[in-house]
Amino acid sequence: MKSDSSQPKTSGPTPQIKPDLDGSIKDLSLPEMEKKLESSPDGLTQAEAAKRLVQYGPNEIEEKKTSSLLKFLGCFWGPIPWMIEAAVVLSAIAKHWPDFGIILLLLVANAVVGFWEEHQAGNAIEALKAKLASKARVMRDGKWVTPASRELVPGDVIRMRLGDIVPADARLLDGDDVEVDQSALTGESLPTTRASGEAVFSGSIIRRGEISALVYATGDKTYFGKTARLVQEAHTVSHFQKAVLKIGNYLIVFAVVLVLLIIGVAVYRGDPLLTTLQFALVLTVAAIPVAMPTVLSVTMAVGARLLAKKEAIVSRLVAIEELAGVDVLCTDKTGTLTQNKLTLGDPFCIKDASAEDVVLFGALASRKENNDTIDLAVLAGLKDANALDGYQVLHFQPFDPVHKRTEATVKDKDGKQFRCTKGAPQVILALMANANGIKAQVDKAVNDFAARGFRALGVARSDGQGPWQFVGVLPLFDPPREDAKTTIATAEQMGIKVKMVTGDALAIAKETAKKLDMGANILDAASLGDPKTWENKEVADSIEKADGFAQVFPEHKFHVVEVLQKRGHIVGMTGDGVNDAPALKKADCGIAVSGATDAARAAAAIVLMKPGLSVIIDAIKESRCIFQRMNSYAIYRIAETLRVLLFITLSILVFNFYPLTAVMIVMLALLNDGAILSIAYDNVHYKNQPEAWNMRLVLGIATVLGIIGPIAAFGLFFLGDRVFHLDHPHLQTLMYLMLSVAGHLTIFLTRTRGPFWSIRPAKILWVAVLGTQISATLIAVYGLFMTPLGWAWAGLVWGYALIWFLVNDGVKLLAYRVLDPIKTEGTT
């Protein structure tokens, strides 16, 4: 089969084009533009494109980036750094130089750790996003190649089709009109029609048709680049992050209230105001969750890298939390539940047409270079590999959601022209003048194929511009994926209802659902009513109870998501087409499946790099593990803050005794924050139910642990003060070591719902905690910035802390039974 495409011309010498093309180039006629760019419909050579890439720069909008130095200095700016800096200044004024040195070290250490981890997290996300870099079909050296869109240069000839995002400003070459969605640029809700010679702009989406175009502007020189050069993507805060940040605000307020109480009592007692103020500031710093932003970003970034290993690329980090809460997953059938490897069966023929004729005309209405699975299956059904050699395709109309068929105008070896088309049988029947005469036969054939799990394609032809004649029906079979049945069963065990959403006929959907044990309640999307109007309770109930939906159009997907969300469900939706984008954006977690169009990938929060449902389930499992780590951190952070603040405040108010020095509080906070970062890598067990932020449970468990802690601390305080009669400096060192050891052991309490040994901690967490506690013990034993305690007392503290650790674990288990008596199998 021949196609109308001329051979490329040999490129001439390098054009002397100024890097900054005159802005009026877009107003030139197409021949003038080709002359100006020294290009043609045959495109450029690879060597010429490489020269122009150096000349014009990459086809991307350069982000406004802050220098690393300014980012590092920014770590010293804000409410939390201000408090630490105030403590440094007060220490200098009071000439408490040990305090000054340690607090300054805390300030710098927090800045370095925060800057480095944010830097690493940023690099990780950039690396992941690089995997999603869009590609363009470009004519280079006379061949269509697919380099990254950033490599486009003025003068390139590109090919765009349904679902593609226009990669650069370009002028359309010869071909049919296309419909372009420019809503991202102009706000226009309806697509606009663009004809040959007219311009299309970077960032718009091809909604119908396919065509070649000549690139005339790239990167910052595009219409989009000029208007959005300094616009950065808004940062979205997830529900979970908001909840954790609320915890942080609560802790700050709690700390400030207790600190003000300490200052008021100190003033009443006549204590030195400067020393009291310095101590109060340091105590506030220790209570504030300084590491919270870093722990959040590191945990999310680590989680994104883990998901990437499972072939799920997270384009927005906050999607991890949403994915953990998904309880309804609406998944497409083809390629996700099935293998997307279509094979052609024996055709159904009308009248005098033979099976070979049906396949031949279907193949002529297909295009191999589009790499479409249906087209490839039809072409593969030709018994003679050379059957198309005598035909020349004069014009090809690709599939689009409006016409729902492909059409080709063909000239045979005798010079006669005819048309052939293929598409959904009901669409092809609608073209027939005498459809009523054959409709019953066609419907029976389609239903028979569907009952066996076959998808049907109608095929028709016409002579010249004459009436269409129905030729026959092509059956296509797409077998279920081998892992689909097991994966769906796993999803059900995890509390996720999987609903099939397919454009196939109802009989095919039911047959597929039957093979996968998904349930038989498959609804025809036509029964859902008008998606643009609010449905009644009966329809909403049917959507919620359905196992799947057949003959679905894109607007139905959006409607299904909206109804389920209004019923209180967290909905995941898969999609691959340009018209799936609204539903992917509407869903709590939009998932672009493998092979999705650029538009679908841009709208989705997660992009899958391999086909199948199992990768989605793996991603949900991983996201629930990430949620568990964040949950553990929240409980730990609240419990620790309550423990330290209550113990110090009650010691000052009741015993008029400062149990820790300012330096000790700073070192306590420093070691705490250093170890807790490792929780991002901890071993956890995901829940077999969707995650939801249970603030009552988190605050309840944290409060119980936060109250038990001071009781244990006062027990040791009593032993040291009244039984062993230690002097105050030794008693302070004793309490410092107790708070440090017991505090870090709390991590092993909050990370599991069951007994502390129920889940083995990750090696990195174990090493981090052990390392910080060895450091804390050596500091206390040998007296770095404090009175030396000695090994005997250090051993006593460790033994005492371990005994209370076992007691606390029992209390924790009891608290869970009281606060959350229904324990789900598999929870942490």
Q: What is the rounded CA–CA span in Å between residue 553 and residue 528?
A: 11
Q: What is the rounded CA–CA span in Å between residue 191 and residue 199?
A: 14
b/e code 680-697 from CB counts within 10 Å (16+ = b): bbbbbbbbbbbbebeeeb
Dihedral angle sign, alpha carbons of residues 115, 116, 121, 125: positive
332 is catalytic: yes
Q: What is the rounded CA–CA span in Å between residue 400 and residue 405?
A: 7
**Strand positions, DSSP E, 231-345:** 312-314, 328-332, 343-344
Q: What is the rounded CA–CA span in Å between residue 605 and residue 584?
A: 8
CA distance readout (Å), 612 to 337, 485, 595: 6, 11, 11
Strand partners, 480: 338
H/E stretch holding 240 reads helix 239-269
Q: Where do we find the tokens 């939801």?
A: 692
Which residues, 6+ apart, have CB-to-CB distance to 466 below 8 Å? none
Strand partners, 469: 461
Q: What is the rounded CA–CA span in Å between residue 453 and residue 449?
A: 6
Which residues, 6+ apart, have CB-to-CB distance to 395 below 8 Å? 176, 408, 409
Nearest to 313 by CA among 586, 561, 610, 600: 610
Helices 239-269 and 273-287: angle between axes, nearest 10 degrees: 160
Q: What is the rounded CA–CA span in Å between residue 192 and residue 823?
A: 56
Question: What 3-state class would DSSP assign to 755?
Answer: coil
Question: What does the DSSP assignment read for 483-496?
Answer: THHHHHHHHHHTT-
Q: Look up residue 369 and give its DSSP letter.
A: G
What does the angle CA 230 – CA 236 – CA 240 come to, to the nearest 5 degrees?
160
Q: Report the helix count and the strand count for the chain, using DSSP H and E.
A: 27, 25
Strand partners, 423: 405, 458
The residue from 156, 169, 181, 332 that is catalytic is 332
Structure tokens that stand for 429 in this block? 């029947």
Strand partners, 549: 501, 523
By annotation, the residues acting in catalysis are 332
